[in-house]
């Protein structure tokens, strides 16, 4: 039980630590730099991930029952990730996530590579 609690606390600290400290004041959105000018609301994406994906893919994207997603953007485009979310792939079933949330989540995951 203590090991699980420490793991969850450490994972939460990693996720929260990745969110802050950038010094930019754009409300948690990516400035768009190398991804064609599109913006992804990281805070919203992380919330969607936490409520829909973390139970299988881990709180820190490192995997669990589902595969590691830390570098999923190196293997799939945002559109391919959205298709996997909506239609499932392999043993992953289709997810009941709105189109807007799917786009937010798939763009965020595609940036993680």
Whole-Å CA distances, 97 to 22, 40, 62, 87, 106? 29, 17, 21, 11, 11
Q: Which residues are annotated as a binding site for heme c?
A: 53, 56-57, 92
| Average pLDDT over every residue of 68-80 | 93
pLDDT at position 41, please?
83
The answer, yes or no, to whether residue 17 has pLDDT greater than 90, is: no
Predicted structure pTM score? 0.64
The answer to whether position 25 is within a domain reads no
Q: Which residues are annotated as a binding site?
A: 53, 56-57, 92
Domain count, the chain: 1
- Give the contacts of 73 (CB within 8 A, at least 6 positions apart): 81, 109, 110, 111, 112, 113
CATH of residue 90's domain is 1.10.760.10
% of the chain residues with pLDDT over 70: 65
The answer to whether position 78 is within a domain reads yes
Q: Which domain holds residue 60?
A: 43-113
The answer to whether position 37 is within a domain reads no
The answer to whether position 92 is within a domain reads yes
Q: What pLDDT digit, counting tens, does each position of 26-70 carry? A: 444 444 444 444 567 889 999 999 999 999 999 999 999 999 999
């Amino acid at each position: 039980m203590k090991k699980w609690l420490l793991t969850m606390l450490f994972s939460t600290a990693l996720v929260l630590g990745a969110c802050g400290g950038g010094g930019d004041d754009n409300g948690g959105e990516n400035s768009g730099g190398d991804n064609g000018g599109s913006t992804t609301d990281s805070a919203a994406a992380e919330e969607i991930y936490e409520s829909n994906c973390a139970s299988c893919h881990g709180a820190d994207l490192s995997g669990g029952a589902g595969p590691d997603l830390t570098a999923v953007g190196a293997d799939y485009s945002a559109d391919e990730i959205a298709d996997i979310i909506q239609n499932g792939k392999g043993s992953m079933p289709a997810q009941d996530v709105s189109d807007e949330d799917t786009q937010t989540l798939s763009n965020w995951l595609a940036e993680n590579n």
